[in-house]
Amino acid sequence: MSTYTTQKDAARKGIVTPQMKNILATESIDETSLLEKVAAGQIAIPANRNHSSLLGAGIGTGLRTKINVNLGVSEDCCHVESELNKVRRSIELKADAIMDLSTFGDTRTFRRKTVEISPVMIGTVPVYDAVARYGKDVGAITVDDFFDVVRMHAEDGVDFLTIHAGLNQSAVERLKNNPRLTNVVSRGGSLLLDWMHRNDCDNPFFTHFDRLLDICSQFDITLSLGDGLRPGSLHDATDAAQIQELIVLGELTKRAWAAEVQVMIEGPGHVPLNEVVSNMQLEKKLCHGAPFYVLGPLVTDVAPGYDHITSAIGGALAAANGADFLCYVTPAEHLRLPDMDDMKEGIIASRIAAHAADVAKGIPGAIEWDNKMSHARKELDWKKMFDLAIDPEKAKAYRESSQPIDSDVCTMCGDLCAVKRSRAILEKA
């Protein structure tokens, strides 16, 4: 029988779990630091006891910045096998986590299959599934209905749950007193806002938070406290409603930690570039150093079709200044359900942002990857360059599409290649 309830409880007792051993083998962190940070809540290790195929990974201070991929079926695009292929492809492209955001059809079969085939952590938003599963008007869903779905996701092996528990009556009052340009853009947040309005009572996950903690503790689920009032436009960033919800999330974090439940905090979606750093500082301060999971942030609202770029800009700056986990954004954001190509573009953009941030914050080993690439470029070693590339497929395709006369160089400079010329003078003279 296990001598600990959660990864946090194990760390507090000095127990190195199998998942921690995975982290120690793949990250540049020592055992003492890992135990201290997990015990303090600065690192979360999402690892449901029922997720048998999982390879443990950590999110938080001193670790590589992780990236998440959103997928799942919807009423308009209900192609289960296509979404499972996205799961497989996401893993090939080295995503660190997958969130199943399915809202239609046989969601449980898809969720269980995703957990079964995935060695990376899996997250869900139970409120979405409550709507899909019961087929009821939102206002008719009961508190027990909500919690039955939470328990079902726990039993199915989900490693982290997004729960918008901080969107309570006080936060809604702030929203009403400070009107927004884009109101509420969080799908889970809007569903709970609707439920609260129709039932004239507070958020059931806020009111019954201890009930939620009991489930998380039983299955060792990490609670990802969702930002139901995240800004959906630059105009609404860092406003009273967003900050009010963040204050509540900080208070709920302490309650979760007291129950040995691990916590992540979800952060803003659209933020002007000059406010990104202050948003990171606010979260870390108000939420006591808990790992921060940012949804972008997108740094401009005017680039539909290119939001993987606006997100990567914001994500790199966010992660360099405290964010620990980036949710990918694809070129299809705001436009449609992403296809396989969109998904790849989003994953690569987020991985670039995460790595750039790891270099900036001095994660051990991060810049060595860049140094190896630079050495391969100096040597004009094309095979090694492809092996080191974050997207070898695209790098090879570009190279093969335009062949030079001299196979050492590329068609940009040809015989005027600065690398080849300077090397001949400085190293081979």
Which residues are documented as binding site for substrate? 70, 99, 128, 164, 186-188, 227-230, 266, 293
What's the count of helices (H) and strands (E) in the chain, helices before strands?
Answer: 19, 10
User: What's the one-letter identity of residue 10?
Assistant: A
CA 318/CA 316 separation, integer angstroms: 5
CA 126/CA 147 separation, integer angstroms: 9
Cis peptide before 297 (omega within 30 of 0): yes
CA 61/CA 406 separation, integer angstroms: 47
The 3-state DSSP class for residue 35 equals: helix
Angle subtended at Cα 94 by Cα 89 and Cα 100, rounded to the nearest 5 degrees = 60
Annotated binding site for Zn(2+): 270, 334
Rg (CA), the chain: 23
Question: Both tokens of residue 421?
Answer: 């010329």
Q: What is the rounded end-to-end Cα distance, in angstroms, of the chain? A: 69
Name the burial class of residue 230, with classes exposed (0-12), middle (13-18) and buried (19+) by CB atoms within 10 angstroms of its CB. buried
The residue written with tokens 């954004």 in the block is 329
User: What's the one-letter identity of residue 95?
Assistant: A
- Whether residue 34 contacts residue 5, with contact meaning beta carbons closer than 8 Å, is answered with no
Annotated binding site: 70, 99, 128, 164, 186-188, 227-230, 266, 270, 293, 334, 410, 413, 417
Beta pairing partners, 71: 100
- Whether residue 308 contacts residue 345, with contact meaning beta carbons closer than 8 Å, is answered with yes
Annotated binding site for [4Fe-4S] cluster: 410, 413, 417
Closest CA to 325 of 52, 20, 68: 68
- Whether residue 131 contacts residue 147, with contact meaning beta carbons closer than 8 Å, is answered with no
Cβ contacts of 56 within 8 Å, gap of 6 or more:
17, 18, 19, 20, 21, 22, 23, 45, 47
